[in-house]
Amino acid sequence: MRPYIFITRRIPETIIQSLKEKFDVNMWKYEDIPVPREILIAEAKKADALLTMLTESIDETILTAGRNLKVIANNAVGYDNVDVATATRKKIAVCNTPDVLTDTTADLTFALLMATSRRVVEAAEFVKQGKWQSWSPFLLAGQDVHHKTIGIVGMGKIGEAVAKRASGFEMQILYHNRTKKPKVEQQLGAVYTTFDELIEKADFIVCLTPLTSETRHLFNRSVFKKMKPTAIFINASRGPVVDEQALFEALTAGDIAGAGLDVFEKEPISADHPLLRLPNIVALPHIGSATQETRQAMLQLCADNIEAILEGKQPKTLVNKDWIPLVRA
Catalytically active residues, by annotation: 238, 267, 286
CA trace torsion 217, 222, 227, 230 (10° rounding):
100
Q: Helix or strand or coil: residue 259?
A: strand
How far apart are alpha carbons 232 and 264 in whole angstroms?
A: 17
First to last CA, the chain: 14
How far apart are alpha carbons 74 and 135 in whole angstroms?
A: 50
159 touches 177 (CB < 8 A)? yes
210 touches 159 (CB < 8 A)? no
DSSP letter for each residue of 107-131:
HHHHHHHHHHHTTHHHHHHHHHTT-
Segments in the chain forming alpha helices (H): 13-22, 37-46, 60-65, 84-89, 102-117, 120-128, 157-168, 182-188, 195-201, 221-226, 244-253, 292-310
Report CA-CA distances (Å) from 49 to 41, 184, 186: 13, 38, 43
CA trace torsion 46, 49, 52, 58 (10° rounding):
70
DSSP letter for each residue of 17-73:
HHHHHHSEEEE-S-SSSPPPHHHHHHHHHH-SEEEE-TTS-B-HHHHHH-TT--EEE
Cis ω on the peptide bond leading into residue 268 (within 30° of 0)?
Answer: yes
Q: What's the maximum distance between 2 C-alpha atoms anywhere in the chain?
A: 77
